[in-house]
């Protein structure tokens, strides 16, 4: 049993939203659920989110700047803010803090709702620390 945690964080790396998906599912599954209604001026994401219809078009319609590096197999390379992309380490730092909670790192809970509740609880602890 494997599970992917999709998370949104603010500019300081504090968590703002979570979605769970199957471990073998694409990262775009989380994007489909988290991106609509995104209250931000820019979205920093890795190359897995470089999808024209499912991510970039949604962000353009919401007037959100996409700071996503293009995949190497893209026919027409797309420009992105390289300096802005360097702030993505804040998201990775949040996941490292989240993995310090043993129940999250090893996924003790059998039910997805209990696991998601544990993620919310651990995130609250991260925010308070």
Residues sharing a CB contact under 8 Å with residue 116, sequence separation 6 or more, in sequence order = 18, 20
CA 38, 25, 100, 120 torsion-angle sign: positive
DSSP 29-95: HHHHHHSTT---SEEE--GGG--IIIIIHHHHHTT-EEE-PPPTT-SS-----HHHHGGGHHHHHHH
10-residue mean pLDDT series, the chain (129 residues): 88 92 90 89 92 92 94 90 93 94 90 94 93
Full-model pTM:
0.87
């Amino acid at each position: 049993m494997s599970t992917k945690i999709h998370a949104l964080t603010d500019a300081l790396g504090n968590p703002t939203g979570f979605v769970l998906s199957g471990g073998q599912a694409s990262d775009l599954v989380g994007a489909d659920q988290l991106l609509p209604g995104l209250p931000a001026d820019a979205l920093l994401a890795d190359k897995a989110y470089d999808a024209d219809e499912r991510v970039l078009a949604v962000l353009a319609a919401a007037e959100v700047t996409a700071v996503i590096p293009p995949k190497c197999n893209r026919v027409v390379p797309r420009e992105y803010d390289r300096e802005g992309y360097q702030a993505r380490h804040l998201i990775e730092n949040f996941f490292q803090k989240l993995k310090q909670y043993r129940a999250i790192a090893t996924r003790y809970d059998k039910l997805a709702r209990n696991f998601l509740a544990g993620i919310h609880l651990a995130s609250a602890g991260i925010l308070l620390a």
